[in-house]
Structure 1
Amino acid sequence: MTKQVITARDLPGIRAELAAWLGDPGPDGGPAVWSAHLDPVTAAIERRAAADWSVSLRAAQLDYASADMTRLAVSAGLALPTYQLHAEDLPSPHGLVVWEEPVVSPEAAGDAMSSIAASWAVHGRGEGAGAGWLGRTEGQSHAASQTRRPGPCGPCPGVEGCGCGTAV
């Protein structure tokens, strides 16, 4: 099987496809996939999260890390202490980074899980942040998100009340 290599030129298309999938209300769209097999309350939260990420991705700054840069960052990261990420640490209010080479978590303890991309969004006036990542486990793609919200504002670039300052 040939290894698929993602290049920096692929990022606009990846962003567009991912945003469209997360905004697709159909049975194979992101909201349905994210909420499948969950209780009704959690399913509603996951459907909303998929829609929020769709909006955020459309405004995302695109970043690409070559294999050499990825290996360097992983190596340097092993020496760093655990850190709570803050909005001001991010390179932009909304973003998507894709790694040429998958990043394997040192906490995986031999598990085959690796990440191939991550996205982020700053909420409100920077008091909260969310992160999402795409990964592969034994050849299967998966997506996950984690959001830390201080208030009612989700990733809503350019929407009244968001305060992130991103223009769509």
Structure 2
Amino acid sequence: MRVVSGKYKGHPLKPMPGKQTRPTTDKVKEAIFQVIGPYFDGGLGLDLFAGSGGLGIEAISRGADKVLFVDKHPRAIQAINQNIQTLNIKDQTEVYKTDAFRALKAAAKRGFVFDWIFLDPPYERVSFQSLFESIVNLNLVQEGSILVCEHSTNDSLPQDFEQLEQMKKVEYGSTIALSLYRVI
């Protein structure tokens, strides 16, 4: 695992130990950022179900001002913090060990509105419908915000959801799919 492009290009990232997560491959990461960037002039991101923090760190490397990282597993939080420390980007991050839905409510209470939300939950164990409802109902996005969903090819995500419009859906092999939504 490594940072694919930007300021920290080529820097290795420590993965979360164990088999509870599937790190996003370089190929998928590059595809995501070619659609949503590829580089940014500031902005705020949320890496929900962050694992080792690879997507959020990639966003910072490509110019995002700040990213919030959320995962409920202690080993994930440890890996995220080590990666943040290695790259010396603590001032551009906030890391939370909590449930995704609690994190969304807490972000809304703080008035956060995200430019990008990366959603990579455990395959087939979290409802994207419920995530979309929370994100939209809590006003965590605005026109132009982008949601990036990495999911199993078995998951059926909606073409559109309220003000979310699917920009792209791509399958990588027989197990990984990527669906990107823009807020209209």
Common fold: TM-score over 0.5: no
For normalisation by structure 2, the TM-score amounts to 0.31
Which of the pair is proportionally richer in helix? 1
For normalisation by structure 1, the TM-score amounts to 0.33
Q: Report the structure number with the largest CA radius of gyration.
A: 1
